[in-house]
A and B are shown apart, each in its own frame.
Chain A
Amino acid sequence: MNVNVKPEAAKRTSSRLAIADCDIHPVRATPNAFDPWLSARWRDHLKTFGSPRRLAMQAGPAFPKGQPDAARRDALPPEGGRAGSSLSFMQAQHLDPNNVIFGVLNPLQSGQGVANPELCAALCAATNEWQVAEWTSKDTRLKASVVVPYESADVSAAEIRKWAGHKDFVQVLVLSRTGEPLGNRRYWPIYQAAAEAGLPVAVHAFGYGGGPITSTGWPSHYIEEMAGHAQSCQAGLASIVIEGVFERFPKLKIVMVEAGFAWAPAFAWRLDKTWKALRAETPHLKRLPSEYLKEHVWWTTQPMEEPEPRTHVLDTIGWMGWDRLLFATDYPHWDFDDPSLALPLPISEEQRLSFFRENALAVYGVKA
């Protein structure tokens, strides 16, 4: 028989598991969107001098990002503007159909990494006001990150204390490629303020340390940067553990964001083996490095590792613990993970709930 059809986008209306999304990227709708929260001095400065990052002089990121603006091509808002700049379209395309009940905003390209330290601080402060004014006050599912100018730790600590206790802020955000390894004492005021505020510190992959993005220089290809996040994140985590940050701030929680996680077990084994031999070098550590990791570190899931067979992921999670992983989509970026397909494996209902929601609510201290 013949059947006639009309063009219509496929819709998702089925009831879905209520989930947490621990990595959503809101974007400025216009380059001037932070202006209401910037002084005239910085508005004029931006017009005159721009906001170059701590890396070689260039207009954009180190590598083209595979898809324009690093975004899903279907995430451009119908009313125009960049992917991630429209709350209404984020709701219609992501939050509603995927039943996100708790979403953590991680603004990138905000002000972090800007070379001028005072401008960096002003932009980070504006980013935090902007998150409340444009996002969290308009959709209570969304929660903000205290975006801090991490190379200026005292200024960062003040920004954390400014927002501590605000119901919309659930974590502190730093990037992984910092000027020094993340456990360096120059960053400890950030950890102190975050621990006192009860806010986890999220370390999101990328950043602007000023040096080459691998430990042996600049790679030629974007894929090397993508896979290489494990390097900077391992260096940062090793530094945090070995410098004794968790001994000094026993309530501190670290969330590794978009760094991958399957490397975590091997990394922990290597640290443990080596520390047993070299314990006297770092006597301030009282336990095996893996024990600090196990107690203090959580990991967002996206981009999920996809080994063959896929069941190897379950082995990895088993080693890490089912309470460690926080589901994330990275919306609206091109390497988005869809919650219905990110973990296509037989797991128990309890494991599924932990992975997709309960771990996030627990680490962020939120009641559903």
Chain B
Amino acid sequence: MSRHVVAPTREIPPGSRKLFTIKGRPIAIFNLNGDFYGMFNRCPHQGGSLCEGAVTGLVESTAAGRYSYSRRGEIIRCPWHGWEFDIRTGKSYCSPDKVKARSYPVETAHGAELVEGPYVAETVPVHVEEDYIVVEM
């Protein structure tokens, strides 16, 4: 496991997402109201690029004719076949027991920690006054 400085947090405003390549792997990073989540960018079904899907809410029903709509902005729908995944956990809603999108822990760190620590930033310029997205994988 290693920690990867991905970008300044301002690059992914709340409600948006962006695709990165980390350790050669495509990782989509989402910002949900200031919390960051990472997801392997290949849909477990047929490999669609999840980052390019539509973000929706969760429609559920207890009986025909009744529905609830919740968690707006927290569900990503694959751009190909429309399979739905929970951005926070990778949980699938079409086949929750068998399919899961792989998620990665993401945290934010202040530039000062990153510069002063034992780790040196090389390609993302790190400034002490900024916050950064850091992925562990």
Interface residues of A (CB under 8 A from B): 1-10, 66-67, 72-74, 334-338, 340-342
Contact = CB atoms under 8 A, between A and B. Distances in A.
B89 to A, nearest CB: 22
Contact of B21 (A2, A10, A342): A10
B57 interface: no
A338 B80 CA distance: 10
B37 to A, nearest CB: 17
Given A10-B26, A74-B79, A4 B5 contact: yes
B47 interface: yes
B22 interface: yes
Interface string B33-55: 00000000110001111001110
Contact of B46 (A1, A66, A341): A341
B79 A8 contact: no
Contacts of B52: 73-74
Given A73-B54, A74-B52, A342-B46, A5 B123 contact: yes
B78 to A, nearest CB: 9
Nearest to B95: A308
A1 B4 CA distance: 8
Contacts of A342: 46
Nearest to B2: A1
B81 interface: yes
Interface of B: 2-7, 18-23, 25-26, 41-42, 46-49, 52-54, 79-82, 114, 117, 119-124, 134
Given A5-B22, A9-B26, A73-B54, A334 B80 contact: yes
Contacts, number: 91
A227 to B, nearest CB: 14
Interchain residue pairs A-B with the least CB separation, the first 8? A73-B79, A2-B119, A10-B26, A4-B124, A74-B52, A4-B123, A8-B21, A3-B4
B23 A3 contact: yes
Given A8-B21, A334-B82, 4 more contacts: A1-B2, A8-B20, A10-B41, A74-B79
A4 B122 contact: yes
Nearest to B137: A3
A72 B80 contact: yes
A72 B48 contact: yes
Contacts of B42: 10
Contact of A5 (B49, B80, B120, B124): B124
A8 B53 CA distance: 17
Contacts of A2: 2-5, 114, 117, 119-121, 134
A208 B79 CA distance: 27
